[in-house]
Amino acid sequence: MLGTIPFPEGMGGSVYFCYPDQNGMAVWQLLGFVTNEKPSAIFKISGLKSGKGSQHPFGAMNLPQTPTVAQIGISVELLENLAQQTPVASAAVSSVDSFTEFTQKMLDNFYNFASSFAVTQAQMTPNPSEAFIPANVVLKWYENFQRRLTQNPLFWKT
């Protein structure tokens, strides 16, 4: 499971996530799968619905259940079986690469942060040691950066 030893030929792993419901009962949800051809994946778990589980191979296991313990289960199965399984929709692997997602969130954070200091010209107090950048200049930079990132996520390398 460390990625150093491949799955046996024709096998892969179903990835399950478990978080107990309000009664403390284990609720397992299929997130997706990993194989030798796709040895890793990032699954979103923030949108999983509590109490809505799926069929899983871990029901017979005698695991202690505590309402605050999350578990991850990997079930090694035939590739044909993996292809027939349907993961929960909210756990879909993100189609946006992590760099683009990080950059977008960084842009949003910077714009929100800078905008929180916006003052009208009447509210400004003269201070010769401070420089002021008009909010519309920051907004224009933000929009241009977003446009360029959408067109070519690696534009900054050129």
d(CA 70, CA 134): 48
- pLDDT for 76: 92
pTM of the predicted model, to two decimals? 0.52
DSSP-H helix ranges across 36-131: 79-84, 98-115
pLDDT tens readout for residues 57-79: 665 555 555 556 788 888 999 99
| Cα separations in angstroms, 137 against 89, 107, 117, 125, 143 | 40, 14, 14, 20, 10
pLDDT at 24 over 60: yes
Which value, to the nearest 10 degrees, does the dihedral of the CA atoms of residues 14, 15, 19, 21 take? -30
Residue 99 confidence class, pLDDT cut points 50, 70, 90: confident
Residue 130 confidence class, pLDDT cut points 50, 70, 90: confident
**Boundaries of every domain in the chain:** 11-84, 98-151
